[in-house]
Amino acid sequence: MRNGTPVYIIDGYNVILSGGYKNRTGGRKKSRGSGPSAPTEVEAARNRFIAFLGTYVTRKRVDITVVWDGSNTGLPGNETRNGVRSVFSSRGTADDAIIRMVERAKNRRRITVVSDDRKHIISVVRNLGAGTMGTGRFLNLLEGGGGRDGRGGAAAAAAAAGDAGDEKGAAADISVDEWMELFRAR
């Protein structure tokens, strides 16, 4: 990660398996949560998404890491293509890997996590100090060529609040164990 640049950490399959992404990439309209299913279709969708993100990276000064569920898939641990870093989770889910990445980050306010998995990852990374953005809003950002204006991840999250839901809903989605862990850490 370059110093001072906005960082996007993307839940890869959450985006490419969404109907919103499929519609934007020329596929027939599908309901939310559906997308490519055969291994070759999934690989092709991953490659298209990396290329799509690569064009954004070349236009804007941002760091993008896409995290893929990779356990039991035989996929490589990570790679960088078109300026986009791909990380395949070796243990646990992509959500778990994203949370670990945010926990290890020195400046969490620069990070925006892109996912629609609100019940788990969104609540956790917000409580860690990172921003969040739903997949639909992120895809609109990419298509519009818009970019981060230098504000940190939390500011971007506030701008994207309509996509990820209100804070009351986010607070209700965190488990008791997660709340206990947060208060124990302080």
Identify whether the C-beta of residue 12 lies closer than 8 Å to the C-beta of residue 97: no
Number of domains forming the structure of the chain: 1
In a domain, 2, yes or no: no
pLDDT at 41: 78
Q: How many residues does the chain have?
A: 186
| C-alpha torsion sign, points 130, 54, 89, 34 | positive
Q: Does the residue 44 lie in any domain? A: yes
Outline where DSSP puts E strands in 4-154: 7-11, 63-68, 78-81, 84-88, 111-114, 131-133
What 3-state DSSP class applies to 173? helix
Q: Which domain holds residue 133?
A: 7-185
Please indicate, yes or no, whether the overall pTM of this predicted structure exceeds 0.75.
no
Q: Does residue 98 have a pLDDT over 50?
A: yes
The percentage of residues in the chain with a pLDDT greater than 90, rounded to a whole number, is 30
> How many angstroms separate the CA atoms of 26 and 31, rounded?
14
